[in-house]
Amino acid sequence: MKEPWSIKSRAKECAATGTPFEAGQKIRAAIFPDPESSGYLRKDFATDAWENLEEKGSPFSTWLTQYEPPVVEEKPEDVVDQDPESLLRKMVEDDEEHTENARYILAVMLERQKTLVETDTQKVPSGVLRVYEHRKTGDVFLIKDPQIPLSDVDKVQEEVRQLLDPTSEPETEPEQTSPEPESSQPEPPQPAAPEPSTTPSNEEEE
């Protein structure tokens, strides 16, 4: 069955008390299975409210994070909206099965750029699910690890590079040049060895 890996946005208030969060406040983020679908629900709690919660249920994943008010970054109109984060968001929302490899590579790229941080790894019936949190917005990305074979990593990375920059030329392996054939010209003649002297020695003259 297809499992939707949608983006989970951070709440502005505690799910238990309704108290608004303050900037810099430590909160408890939790992902729960959605009883009405095959997906997941996110809830955020003040740490003390989470500790005093009588029925926490069975969260799929939970971690401590810090609340920051959402920041909307405006982009110039002339900038092409095809950076790794925007592409990942689009792919996650579209949730097309053939983009699983690209989604995972993009998530790893953004983790290396310190845009995303991996908060958890969980096993699901279809494989391994990695939970990434956006450092600035707090959005959570549920990314399935497709277990890409090592032999296919370069190919997938090239596909992602083409998606980010369609005008770029695909990378090709350098051509192997064959060794130059040996020269067919004859080698210069070697000097002849000197002939033995025919001059009689002094002993023979005596």
Inside any domain, residue 186? no
Is the model's pLDDT at 157 over the cut of 50? yes
Inside any domain, residue 191? no
Inside any domain, residue 190? no
Inside any domain, residue 18? yes
Average pLDDT over residues 80-101: 86
Alpha-carbon distance of 152 to 164, in angstroms, equals: 19
> For the chain, what is the domain count?
1
Inside any domain, residue 185? no
Is the model's pLDDT at 203 over the cut of 50? no
Inside any domain, residue 107? yes
Inside any domain, residue 147? yes
Average pLDDT over residues 165-191: 55
Model confidence at 102, pLDDT cuts 50, 70, 90, reads very high
Is the model's pLDDT at 198 over the cut of 60? no
Residue 73 pLDDT: 54
Supply the mean pLDDT for the chain: 80
Residue 4 pLDDT: 57
Report pLDDT digits (tens) over 118-156: 999 998 888 899 999 999 899 999 999 999 998 888 999
Question: Which of residues 133 and 76 earns the better pLDDT score?
Answer: 133
Residue span of the structural domain in which 126 resides: 7-69+80-164
Is the model's pLDDT at 181 over the cut of 60? no
Inside any domain, residue 177? no
